[in-house]
Structure 1
């Protein structure tokens, strides 16, 4: 999947956290959580040379390349997600869960790709959710449609929240 698709998935994950944890989705804390979601969504692609995240975090990306970390392995694994969870556990809960779930959205939607993901890295077994013929190819029309669905959900989720709260307070 492309960086913009992962950004929408991360944003959607962070929106879910904000709406679950916050009284008001219209606060600075909520804005920070949504920004974190947009950035954490594509972050796992730091292991892919030439990706936006590899360019932004070049020193870390270079270290991963020197360590011969292949794409969709370590940075897409459950073990790495747990390590990130420990590393960032001192963040306030809203930001912590927004970061963690947005990051987790990355390997989750990559499971729809033909190439699959080594979720149990260092065990070299790739998981995927769809058979190859139905998989979403990176940059294909199917990914664009998937991204549009994610974008629509990022609009519908807060709209539903506002609508539900308007009805329940009257």
Structure 2
């Protein structure tokens, strides 16, 4: 996937996480989403033609030593990153640590639907790919463009709905039936199991 798809998917996934945790409306919540959005393209530093490699000085050197979609797209690095962010006592703010972690993990999650897949269990030589080839979505394909557009709409609608659900009663009343639709939409993307997982992992 290209960097913009990774970024908007990270924002969408992080927003669903926050909704599932019933996160309060705050600058920390907004910052978490923003950090995930920025970090999401970074794992493609192993690809010399990626946006990250072309825009960060010296980043393209990484691709000379690491094959694309192997180490940086693995569970190994995700676990190590989690330990650095949450387990080694660096006292990184929760919103920053969560945003970085969600941005990184969301990257390989959406790459799993690409025909190439990812070497998720690196250094084991197993590539995880879509089980049904015709469901795979190629890089810069019409399918990716459609998914990216839908995710942008999704993020916008969920954000506005969540804000309305937590708005003062006067504004909710003024919104009329929109408040009911907003409540239903937010409820649809409130997953108790995800909230529990995030609580266990200290993601917030």
Q: So what's the TM-score if we normalise by structure 2?
A: 0.72
Aligned-residue CA RMSD in angstroms? 2.3
Please, which of 79, 84, 89 is the counterpart of residue 82 of structure 1? Answer: 79
- 2-side partners of 1:47 and 1:76: how far apart? 9
Q: How far is 1:134 from its partner?
A: 2.1
Can you list the C-alpha shifts for 1:97-147, whole angstroms capped at 9, x where unaligned?
121112111100001111111110111111123422221011110000111
Report 1:58-137 matches (<5 A).
58-62=57-61, 64-67=62-65, 69-89=66-86, 90=90, 91-137=92-138
Q: How far is 1:88 from its partner?
A: 2.7
**Secondary structure of residue in 2 paired with 1:88:** helix
**Secondary structure of residue in 1 paired with 2:53:** helix
List gaps (5 residues or longer) in structure 2: 174-204
- 2-side partners of 1:32 and 1:162: how far apart? 15
1:51 aligns with 2:53: no
Can you list the C-alpha shifts for 1:50-81, whole angstroms capped at 9, x where unaligned?
2111133343441x2342x1111100001111
- 2-side partners of 1:44 and 1:11: how far apart? 16
Bigger radius of gyration: 2
- 2-side partners of 1:100 and 1:36: how far apart? 9
Contact 1:49 1:61 in 2 (8 A): yes
Q: How far is 1:154 from its partner?
A: 0.9
Per mean C-alpha deviation after superposition, the further-off stretch among 90-99 and 44-53 is 90-99
Contact 2:34 2:99 in 1 (8 A): no
**Secondary structure of residue in 1 paired with 2:119:** coil
**Secondary structure of residue in 2 paired with 1:75:** helix
The aligned counterpart of 1:34 is 33
Q: How many residues align?
A: 166
- 1-side partners of 2:58 and 2:72: how far apart? 15
List gaps (5 residues or longer) in structure 1: none
| Structure 1 pair 156–130 and aligned structure 2 pair: CA distance change class (3 A) | farther
Per mean C-alpha deviation after superposition, the further-off stretch among 104-113 and 90-99 is 90-99
